[in-house]
Amino acid sequence: MTKIHNLGFPRIGAKRELKFALEAYWKGESSRDDLKTLGQQLRQRHWQLQSGLDWVPVGDFAFYDQVLDMSFTLGNLPERVQDFHGDALDNYFRVARGRSAQSASNAQCCGGVAAGEMTKWFDTNYHYIVPEFTAATEFKLDASRLLEQLAEAKAQGVTVKPVIIGPVTYLWLGKAKDDSNKLALLPKLLPVYAELLETLAAQGVEWVQIDEPILVTELDAEWRHAFNTAYHNLQDSRVKLLLATYFGQLAENRNLAANLPVAGLHVDAVNGRDDIEPLIIRLSADKVLSLGVINGRNIWKTDLNAVLDWLEPIAQQLGERLWLAPSCSLLHVPVDLDSEQKLDAEIKSWLAFAKQKLGELQVLATALNRGRDAVKAELDANRAAIKARRNSSRVNNPAVKAALAKIDAKLGQRQSSYAQRALKQAALLKLPKFPTTTIGSFPQTSEIRLARSQFKSGKLDAAGYKAAMRAEIARCVREQEALGLDVFVHGEAERNDMVEYFGEQLNGYAFSQSGWVQSYGSRCVKPPILFGDISRPQPMTVEWISYAQSLTDTPMKGMLTGPVTILNWSFVRDDQPRSVTCKQLALAIREEVLDLEKAGIGVIQIDEAALREGLPLRKSQWQEYLDWAVESFRITANGVADETQIHTHMCYSEFNDIIAAIADMDADAITIETSRSDMELLDAFEHFNYPNGIGPGVYDIHSPNIPSEQHIVALMHKAAERVPTEQLWVNPDCGLKTRQWAEVIPALTNMVAAAKTLRASLG
């Protein structure tokens, strides 16, 4: 009998219950007990939704991040929080975001500290808190979180499969703060893992899912050897280990994975189909093979009939050794399609969210175990939906395909070199040295959210909504004038999300009501659904930004999201290459850039925050991606005159190893995240002569902490050691949408003061 299981479930709740509970706690509006109770209720609800599985994951729930959870389980706390004697959950939030809750008197509790560095989880839009190591790091087991959730699950009658991050991946994910060799810590780490597994065995656990996704990356000999060391040390555990990989192919790591002394292996059969036949040959006759046959990263229905055609011979060969699951944790998709009441009915019939994906698993298992006739109605309905989507005229637009065919190399070229452009832009903009700006958004206040909600519900007409947004834009302009910033933004009051806002105005997109996905902590995004060929029927931002520019003589940045980021932060169609879809987006956003220029906007920022996260996990595949990604950006940006200054922005991405590709984008200025990494992300500039302007972020906007003028000056001095001062801008790490005005004003005041100090000391 084929068995089915899940690698992880979305934890935010179908209605973002966890988000709102976290933010209420952090604001001091609810108690710690309230938050913990909500967490317990969500876990119970999610286990119930998974009750049809043979094995249900436990330990996949986190109040902020699963990697941070693992750090606390292993007792690996940064030194700056080790002396905290309060509640462990508050210390957890201190690492996650710099501080925990506010007391009733509005004084910050739990002592502000530097938040842990945050970066992308492999090639997803999820962010994790980076573990910190030194040569002296010690580990000590704290299994309380797992044991608590295990007891809850058992009380609910759940057939449990605890989920933990494996020791080799855990070390790989972290950063050695003293440049020591992370792998030298493995001998100290493995006894703690062995103790954890023994603790779980003592609770009657049979299977433990141990995630080692780095097996789908290109590993050098030292890391490959670490896998053998780790799992030969853990092979005497009394629990059975299901080693899980996902997000790609094992390729040259097949032999390594197949021969590790574990009871089972999970592989991504969506992205790594070519791995399966060689693995079946290599696996010993007693090992379970779990195949991730349902895409855990996208929301399209699985072609169940095609999957069964492929699976049936494998099931005959493996028998009860075959398990089925999604390709990866369902953390990356929304919870339940059934909650969508307004989504276009035709497009909805093509989709599957987390709950529906588990239903697809059950159909596959039933067909394999009892025959296809047992689920004939389900398979027939699935076949009809797949066919309808393939043939829909809404998906295919001949005019868009014709425009794509006309793309040539000239479309991506600026008229002159950066050196020539910079002289013309300097004469026009007249900016001081160390010019100050922000990344785009200002706080999304309760008034903004109320106006948007009332407009969508029909309680506020278009004229009233426009007036409300204009009032917020005017406020942003006034605040920036008072601060003395050098290049303004309009604040993006009218925008719900930097991708969804544009998708709503492009043909080829659809939108869910409740398709929320966790990005980090309490931050959720609702990726738009890119289902068809893309075109722009009319201007999208020109009216708002022109209005903002009319209120001031200071240069106003036009704010756009770039094609690569729109692609990577959408649920993208899977029926054509991503490169084709990206170039369709590039042509559409190019039209907007040209319209902004015609309207007199002299500075235009095209955000490519997600450029790096789209990189394949294997470096050997990077160049192909970078070629079409950079080409798409250049198509978007390079139709303008020399005098128009093009900016781009990238956040929370290690980009040192793609610095040449970023230079090839040829933006006049790039702003990046560097504050949490203490400017370490600028190390690439020590060996690469980056020619254009660069703004290393000096204000960590993902933390409520307010940077001092002295701290900003110190960061910029570090930047000036790597980048010529005439190229440097001063700006926050990212947009200010999630912050409060009470935090933003003092932080930006200090930033502007720091820029003045820098002009005096380094000018």
> What DSSP letter does each residue of 720-745 carry, written as one string?
HTTS-GGGB-BB-SS--TTS-HHHHH
Four-residue CA torsion sign, 39, 40, 46, 47? positive
- Tell whether residue 449 is among the known ligand binding residues: no
Q: How far is CA 667 from CA 267, 354, 598, in A?
A: 40, 39, 19
Residue 453: CB partners within 8 Å, gap ≥ 6?
A: none
- Tell whether residue 252 is among the known ligand binding residues: no
What angle, rounded to 10 degrees, do the helices at 542-550 and 462-483 form? 50
SS (H, E, C) 416-446: CCHHHHHHHHHHHHCCCCCCECCCCECCCCH
Rg (C-alpha) for the chain, rounded Å, is: 26
Nearest C-alpha neighbor of 294 from the set 356, 375, 372, 214: 356
Q: Which amino acid is at 657?
A: D
> Which helix (H) or strand (E) covers residue 265, if one does?
strand 264-268
Q: Which amino acid is at 54?
A: D
Say if CB 222 and CB 246 are below 8 A apart. no
* DSSP, res 56: E
- Tell whether residue 125 is among the known ligand binding residues: yes
Residue 25: CB partners within 8 Å, gap ≥ 6?
A: 31, 32, 34, 35, 101
Q: Catalogue the E-assigned strands of 622-692.
A: 645-650, 669-672
Tokens of 460: 């506020």
What is the distance between the alpha carbons of residues 517 and 523, in angstroms, rounded to a whole number?
9
- Tell whether residue 19 is among the known ligand binding residues: yes
Tokens of 476: 């942003």
Buried b (16+ CB within 10 A) or exposed e, 572-606: bbeeeebbebbbbbbbbbbbbbebbbeeebbbbbb
State the catalytic residue, choosing from 46, 266, 490, 702: 702
Mapped onto helix, strand or coil, the DSSP state of residue 645 is: strand
- Tell whether residue 743 is among the known ligand binding residues: no
- Tell whether residue 440 is among the known ligand binding residues: yes
Q: Look-up: residue for tokens 């820029």?
A: 755
- Tell whether residue 439 is among the known ligand binding residues: yes
Tokens of 438: 């922000």
Tokens of 534: 């893309």
| Residue 134: alpha-carbon gap to chain centroid | 27
What is the distance between the alpha carbons of residues 466 and 690, in angstroms, rounded to a whole number?
42
Phi, psi of 562 (to 5 degrees): -75, 165
- Tell whether residue 492 is among the known ligand binding residues: yes
Say if CB 624 and CB 647 are below 8 A apart. no
Q: Which pairs with CB-CB distance under 8 Å and at least 24 residues apart come from 384-392? A: 385/301, 385/349, 385/350, 386/301, 386/303, 386/305, 388/346, 388/349, 388/350, 389/300, 389/350, 389/531, 389/575, 390/575, 392/346, 392/532
- Tell whether residue 649 is among the known ligand binding residues: yes
- Tell whether residue 110 is among the known ligand binding residues: no
- Tell whether residue 607 is among the known ligand binding residues: yes
- Tell whether residue 734 is among the known ligand binding residues: yes
Say if CB 282 and CB 258 are below 8 A apart. yes
Say if CB 174 and CB 226 are below 8 A apart. no
- Tell whether residue 220 is among the known ligand binding residues: no
Say if CB 574 and CB 300 are below 8 A apart. yes
Active site residue 702: yes
Q: Which amino acid is at 185?
A: L
- Tell whether residue 117 is among the known ligand binding residues: no
Q: How far is CA 426 from CA 38, 46, 558, 727, in A?
A: 55, 57, 18, 12
- Tell whether residue 524 is among the known ligand binding residues: yes
User: Rounded to the nearest 5 degrees, what angle is found at the Cα of 639, between the Cα atoms of 635 and 641?
Assistant: 150
Give binding residues as ranges. 16-19, 120, 125, 439-441, 492, 523-524, 569, 607, 613, 649, 651, 664, 673, 734
Give binding residues for 5-methyltetrahydropteroyltri-L-glutamate as ranges. 16-19, 120, 125, 523-524, 569, 613
Give binding residues for L-homocysteine as ranges. 439-441, 492, 607
Catalytic residue numbers read 702
Give binding residues for L-methionine as ranges. 439-441, 492, 607
